[in-house]
Amino acid sequence: MTAQPIVLVLPGGDPDRLPATIASVEAALGRPVPVIGLERADATELAATADFVGFVRPGDRLLPGVLESRLRDLAVHPFPVISIAGHRLIRGPGEPRLVQAPPPGSTPADLVIRATAEPATVLASASLVDRLALERLARPSGAAAVWSAMSVNGRYLAGAEVAAEVPLDPERHGYGNEARTGPLLEAVTGATVDDAPGDWTMRRELLRRLYLLLERDDDVPPLSEVFAGKLAGPAGAAAVVDDLEWLAERQAEALELERLRWIHGELRPEDAVPVTYAEELADSRAAMFRLDQAAKTLTAMIGRLESEIYRRDAIIAAITDLPIVDARTALAAEGAKGET
């Protein structure tokens, strides 16, 4: 039986692009899908008419076919689930950024803190969408709390798929690096040898954006350009050294937080990677496979021994010119005499 979904349209996004979003929902499933606004949603009706609930904001685009495959995978689970897949964040022409789903084993707190769960990537069992969830989804920042609550009441499954393309929303995602790095670089390179109030703050913010963030501009200016106005005298050189020392300290702190001490076999408890239920399931399946192989090996050994016994009886029957049954009886009698 095919799982029946329904899709809720959450507030935000670009209302003018809602028709394109609805069209992408139908293309993602390959058949018509009920799409309703959040203000019209009723938790009791959702639970009665749908198996799973999806979510979108106007402007999101679900990728073709991905909804059908995800529903097929989720429908086999007998328990309530929430699935979060990856998405592409569209920051500008030709500049998508791939955002992975929170990994398996993420705790509810992780799902609240990590801003990686876009509504267009979420599929949840209809039984998890209650009245409180609908009220929270209507709030500006309530979606993360809803995904977290669903992961407590059901089971969280991380999808490996890229489910949707989501346009950059400055209010939710923040601006891209390129939106501010250019003016910041221009202000920093125009500074003189003597620091004016706030100059060192702008320089260190620029260094942080260029060298400490995971997402950086494609064209990183050379440090000689960043410090062009500071290299003319001792005072400027001291400011440059202070800034680079600050940058090195921040990088050392980041490495300390991420470092795993494998070399000498030391692993701090806080650095240990928790075993997820998916890994436990894989280990259990591997153990069952090993037991099955051992059972098959024993069965093969028993068959071989039976063949050897039959071959022995056949040889005795040929020597004594007796049927195999009589040969076995004679052999058993000789064995009994030997024991007495």
Give domain limits for the chain.
5-173, 178-271, 277-339
Confidence of residue 218 (pLDDT cuts 50, 70, 90): low
pLDDT digits (tens, 9 = 90+) for 294-332: 899 998 899 888 888 888 778 877 777 777 677 777 777
Fold for the domain defined by 5-173: Spore Coat Polysaccharide Biosynthesis Protein SpsA; Chain A (3.90.550)
> Residue 63: its pLDDT value, please?
92
Of 141, 122, 124, nearest to 12 (Cα)? 141
How does strand 52-56 pair with strand 122-125?
antiparallel
pLDDT digits (tens, 9 = 90+) for 143-173: 888 888 888 888 888 888 899 999 887 667 7
Which pTM was predicted? 0.55
Q: SS3 for the chain, per residue?
A: CCCCEEEEECCCCCHHHHHHHHHHHHHHHCCCCCEEEHHHCCHHHHHHHCCEEEEECCCCEECCCHHHHHHHHHCCCCCCEEEEEEEEEECCCCCEEEECCCCCCCCHHHHHHCCCCCHHHEEEEHHHCCHHHHHHHCCCCCHHHHHHHHHHHCEEEEEEEEEEEEECCHHHHCCCCHHHHHHHHHHHHCCCCCCCCCHHHHHHHHHHHHHCCCCCCCCCCCHHHHCHHHCCCHHHHHHHHHHHHHHHHHHHHHHHHHCCCCCCCCCCHHHCCCCCHHHHHHHHHHHHHHHHHHHHHHHHHHHHHHHHHHHHHHHHHHHHCCCHHHHHHHHHHHHHHHHC
> Residue 259: its pLDDT value, please?
55
Confidence of residue 120 (pLDDT cuts 50, 70, 90): very high
> By the 8 A CB rule, do 328 and 313 touch?
yes
> Residue 240: its pLDDT value, please?
81
